[in-house]
A and B are shown apart, each in its own frame.
Chain A
Amino acid sequence: MSAIQLGVEGVTKRFGGLTAVNDVSFALGQGDILSLIGPNGAGKTTLFNLLTGQLAATAGKVFFDGADITHYRPNQRARLGLGRTFQISQTLTSLSVLENAMIGAFLHHPRIADAADKAYAALERVGLASRAKEEAGHLTLGERRRLEVARALGLEPRLLLLDEVMAGLNQTELARIVDVVVALNASGQTIIVIEHNLKVVRTFSKRVLVLDRGKMIADGGADSVLQDPVVVEAYVGKKKQ
C-alpha cells in the first residue's frame, strides 16, 4: 500500500433541499488512479468542486497529505498540488492556446520563458502544440477539453482530477487522452477521473467509485463493481431506460 494522499471524510453538500453529495468517504493512495462514475446528476462534479474548493462543504472534511484543507481556497489547493479540469471547459478566450496552458505553468515557473516551455510541453502531450499560437476561442469543444488538461498538467499537480475530459472526443483524440492518462499514472501521478464510458474506465482503472444521488454506493475493483447488481441497477439500468 502506498501512502495516503487524499482523505475524504463524510463530505456532504446541500443546495437548499437537494443533497448533491451525501456523506461520502474514501481515501486515495499516492500514485493511484480512481474512476468516479455515476448517472447524470449523481454529484460527481459537485464532489470535485468540494475537493478542489470551488464549493464549500456543508459537512465533512478533506485531507491532502495529512493536512486538513477543508477551508482552503481553490488557489491554495492548487498550490498544494490539486490540479483539475472543468466539465464545461473554462477557456480563456482572449488568450492564445499556449498562453492558456501557461496560466497553469506559471504556478511553479514565474518566469515567462520557463512557463512557456512547460506549457508547450503540456500542449505536446495532449496534441495541441501545432495550434499553440492560435486564439483559444477558436478551438473546437474537443480541443478545449484537451486544453483544459494541458492547463491542469502545467500546474504539475500531485493529484490530477479530470472531469469527463473524454466526452465528445473522436476516436483518435480519445486514444490520445487515454494514453496520456495511462502514461501519467505509470509515471506515478495520482489521478481521479470522472468518466461515463465504462469501456474506457475498464482499460485504465483498477478501482472504481460509484455515486448515485449523492451517495457512494460502491467502491472497489473495476470488475467486481461494474458487475455489482446495485451499481447495474443504479447506473447501467438507468442508462438503458
Chain B
Amino acid sequence: MSNLDLAQSGALGDSRLAGRRGAAEVWTVANELPTFFAVVAAIGLAVYLLSNQFFYLNLLTMALLFGGLAVSWNIIGGFGGQFSIAHSVFFAIGAYTAGNLYKHFGVSPWIAILPAMLLSAAVAAIVSWPVFRLRGPFFAIATMALTEVAIAFAMHWKAVTGGASGLTIPYRAGLENMIFQQRWAYAALFLGYLAVTLLTSIVILRSRLGYYLQAVRDNDKAAEASGIPIMWTKLKGMAISAALTGIGGVFFMMYVRIVEPAGLLSLFDVGVKIALIALIGGIGTIYGPLLGALILVPLDYWLRAFMGSAVPGGNLIVLGLILVLGSLFMKKGVAGALRQVYRAWSRQQ
C-alpha cells in the first residue's frame, strides 16, 4: 500500500515535473531580485561613504540620474530596438510640469510625478504613433525632428518655460518640496529614481511585454505572425519609457532649480547622451545602461574639464570617436564584453 502510494506519487511528481520543465529554464523577476538589491545596496553604500565629498557626490548624483534615464531609454531603445534621440523632450516635459506646478500652484513635486508621467507618455504616444507604422530609420529621424520642434516651442512658450532665460523655482528646503539642504539627500533621491527604473525594466524584461518588444526588434514578421500587435507593443514600450524619463525630469528640476531650453533639450547633452550611455554600457541588458552612466558621466566631466578647455570641442571629438568605434567594435557595450570574458573564463574552469 505505502509502496504503491510512493510509486504513484513518484510517477505523478515526475509527470508534474515534466509539465513544468519549461518554467524551470526561464529567468523570472524573482531570479533578478538578489542582483537588483545588491546593486542598489552597493550604490547606497557609495552614497554614504561619499556623503562629505561633495565633488564625487555630485558626480555620482549625475551618474545616477543619467543611469536612470538610460535605463528608461533602454526599455524602448534596447528591448524594443526603436532608436530615440528625443528622450530629452520627455525629460523636459517632466521638468516643466514639476516646475510650473510647484512655482505657480504650490503643488508638491512628489505629486507632480503623476501628471509628468502621464504627459510624457501621452506626447510620446502621439508622436510615435504615425512613425511606428513605418519600419526602418524613420523613427530616429522623427525623434530628431521632435527635438528641434520642442526647442522651438520651448523658446516660444515663455509663460511655461521662461524662454531662453529659463525657469527658476524658489529655494524652500523640505522633504515635501523635494528640496534638500544636504547634498547626499539628492544622491539618495536619484538612487531611488534609478531603483525605480531598474525595477520597472526588470519587470518588463521578465514579462510578456519584454519578450514581445524583443521579438518586434529582432524580427517583426515572425512577431506579427505569432499574434503580436506590433504597433501596440511599441507604443506601450515607448509610453513606459517616456513616463520614466519624465520622472527623471521632475527630480532634475528640483535638483538644479533652474532650467533653460537650450540645456534641457540639448540634442547632445541629453538626447544623444542618454542613447550613447546605453550603447557604451550595453544596449538591451538590464544593468548595461547603469554601467554606461557610471563610466561616461565621469569621463564626460573629465573630458570637459581637461580637453574642452585645451581644445574647443575636444571633449565632443572624443565622444564622437567613442560613438563611431563603439558602434563598430563594441555593439554589446561593456556589459556584453564582460559577459564574453566571463563565458570564456567559465569555459576554462
The answer to whether A and B touch in the complex, with CB atoms under 8 Å apart, is yes
Q: How far is the CA of A110 from the CA of B212 in the complex (A)?
A: 11
Q: How far is the CA of A75 from the CA of B231 in the complex (A)?
A: 11
* Contact partners of B22 in chain A: CB under 8 A: 98, 102, 113, 115-121, 132
Q: Does A39 sit at the interface, judged by CB under 8 A?
A: no
| B225 and A78 form a contact (CB under 8 A) | yes
Interface residues of B in 219-267 (CB under 8 A from A): 219, 221-230
| B28 and A113 form a contact (CB under 8 A) | yes
Given A92-B215, A103-B215, A151:B26 Cβ within 8 A: no
| B218 and A95 form a contact (CB under 8 A) | yes
Among the listed A107, A111, A132, A133, which residue makes an inter-chain contact with B226, where contact means beta carbons less than 8 Å apart? A107
Query: What's the minimum C-beta distance from B77 to chain A, rounded to whole angstroms?
Result: 14
A120 nearest CB neighbor, chain B only: B22
* Contact partners of B212 in chain A: CB under 8 A: 103, 106
B27 nearest CB neighbor, chain A only: A112
Q: Does A40 sit at the interface, judged by CB under 8 A?
A: no
| B28 and A112 form a contact (CB under 8 A) | yes
* Contact partners of A74 in chain B: CB under 8 A: 224-225
Q: How far is the CA of A142 from the CA of B207 in the complex (A)?
A: 29
Q: Does A197 sit at the interface, judged by CB under 8 A?
A: no
Query: What's the minimum C-beta distance from B80 to chain A, rounded to whole angstroms?
Result: 12
* Contact partners of A114 in chain B: CB under 8 A: 23
* Contact partners of B347 in chain A: CB under 8 A: none
| A92 and B222 form a contact (CB under 8 A) | yes
* Contact partners of A132 in chain B: CB under 8 A: 22, 25
* Contact partners of B214 in chain A: CB under 8 A: 92, 94-95
* Contact partners of A98 in chain B: CB under 8 A: 22, 25-26
| A113 and B224 form a contact (CB under 8 A) | no
| B23 and A117 form a contact (CB under 8 A) | yes
Query: What's the minimum C-beta distance from A111 to chain B, rounded to whole angstroms?
Result: 8
A111 nearest CB neighbor, chain B only: B208
Q: Does B137 sit at the interface, judged by CB under 8 A?
A: no
| B221 and A90 form a contact (CB under 8 A) | yes
Judged by DSSP, the binding face of A is helix
Q: Does A227 sit at the interface, judged by CB under 8 A?
A: no
Q: Which of B26, B211, B219 has most chain A Cβ within 10 Å?
A: B26
| B226 and A99 form a contact (CB under 8 A) | no
| B224 and A103 form a contact (CB under 8 A) | no
* Contact partners of A155 in chain B: CB under 8 A: 226-227
Q: How far is the CA of A132 from the CA of B284 in the complex (A)?
A: 21
Q: Does A104 sit at the interface, judged by CB under 8 A?
A: yes
| B219 and A91 form a contact (CB under 8 A) | yes
Q: How far is the CA of A129 from the CA of B25 in the complex (A)?
A: 11
| A93 and B218 form a contact (CB under 8 A) | yes
Query: What's the minimum C-beta distance from A118 to chain B, rounded to whole angstroms?
Result: 7
| B28 and A92 form a contact (CB under 8 A) | no
Q: Does A206 sit at the interface, judged by CB under 8 A?
A: no
| A116 and B227 form a contact (CB under 8 A) | no
* Contact partners of B208 in chain A: CB under 8 A: 106, 110-112, 115
Q: Does A79 sit at the interface, judged by CB under 8 A?
A: yes
Q: Does A86 sit at the interface, judged by CB under 8 A?
A: yes
Q: Does B206 sit at the interface, judged by CB under 8 A?
A: yes
Q: Does A207 sit at the interface, judged by CB under 8 A?
A: no
Q: How far is the CA of A41 from the CA of B170 in the complex (A)?
A: 72
Q: How far is the CA of A92 from the CA of B219 in the complex (A)?
A: 6
Among the listed B20, B206, B224, B225, which residue makes an inter-chain contact with A112, where contact means beta carbons less than 8 Å apart? B206
A residues near B (Cβ < 8 Å) are 52, 54, 73-75, 78-79, 83-84, 86, 90-95, 98-99, 102-104, 106-107, 110-121, 129, 132-133, 151, 154-155
Q: Which 3 residue pairs of A and B lie closest in terms of their CB atoms, listed nearest first?
A: A120-B22, A116-B22, A78-B227
27 pairs from A and B in contact (CB 8 Å cutoff): A54-B224, A54-B225, A74-B225, A75-B226, A78-B224, A78-B225, A83-B225, A84-B225, A90-B219, A92-B219, A92-B222, A94-B217, A103-B211, A103-B212, A103-B215, A104-B227, A107-B226, A107-B227, A112-B23, A112-B26, A112-B207, A113-B23, A117-B22, A117-B23, A121-B22, A154-B226, A155-B227
In addition to A75-B226, A118-B22, 17 A-B residue pairs with Cβ atoms within 8 Å of each other are A75-B229, A93-B218, A95-B215, A98-B26, A99-B26, A102-B26, A103-B215, A104-B226, A107-B227, A113-B26, A116-B22, A116-B23, A117-B20, A120-B22, A120-B25, A121-B22, A133-B25
